[in-house]
Homo-oligomer: A and B are copies of this chain.
Amino acid sequence: MSTAEDTAGGEAEAWGQVTPDAARRLLVAAVEAFAERGYHATTTRDIAGRAGMSPAALYIHYKTKEELLHRISRIGHDKALDILRTAARGEGDATRRLADAVSSFVRWHAGGRTTARVVQYELDSLGPDARAEILALRRQVDAEVRGIVEDGVASGEFDVPDVHGTTIAVLSLCIDVARWFNVDGPQTPDEVGALYADLVLRMVGAKQSPAQT
């Protein structure tokens, strides 16, 4: 098993599970609009227009504008957690698994920046219940990364004085990629993923580079 090439691919393919077709088109349109302008600056008319429908059509498939954001955030967090779990529970020592986790997580944030932006930065626009649900997923994301770091410390691979603080820093570094990464810029998602995996191994004081697979 490799580092899951399919986790960081095209923008739209992750929405295949959403049916019917009109509901998926609206969801994809909402992701694009929210990523470009932010949730509050996006109008339901804009979303419907991007999906090639009238404003009223939105309300056949979703109760409110907030439900759109909730669904996007839920699917996105599920995907993010899936990526990290695949790497965290893969084969290899902690060094290998941390490098895989960071590089695939970063590739997802860079390559699917449109989605990742909404998922990571529009959390505060959700209502209390939806917010609480998403925060629970975030704690699981955190736990996956912390688990790898703790494994590496236990095995003597890593030198980490502050596991909690360092875990936050590693995740923070990955997540912020969604803010600054530019698809038209000089770096590809793969390059940033490789660079960040190396930087993170340095942060945890990894004794050696992971073997190439």
Contacts and interface: CB of A to CB of B under 8 A. Distances in A.
Contacts of A199: 166, 169, 203
Interface in A44-100: none
A178 to B, nearest CB: 10
A162 B198 CA distance: 11
Nearest to A173: B173
A128 to B, nearest CB: 14
B177 A165 contact: no
A192 interface: yes
Copies in the complex: 2
A210 interface: no
Interface residues of A, number: 30
Contacts of A165: 187, 191-192, 195
A179 to B, nearest CB: 8
A176 B176 CA distance: 6
A147 interface: no
A12 interface: no
Interface string A179-209: 1100000010001100110110011010000
A124 interface: yes
A162 B203 contact: no
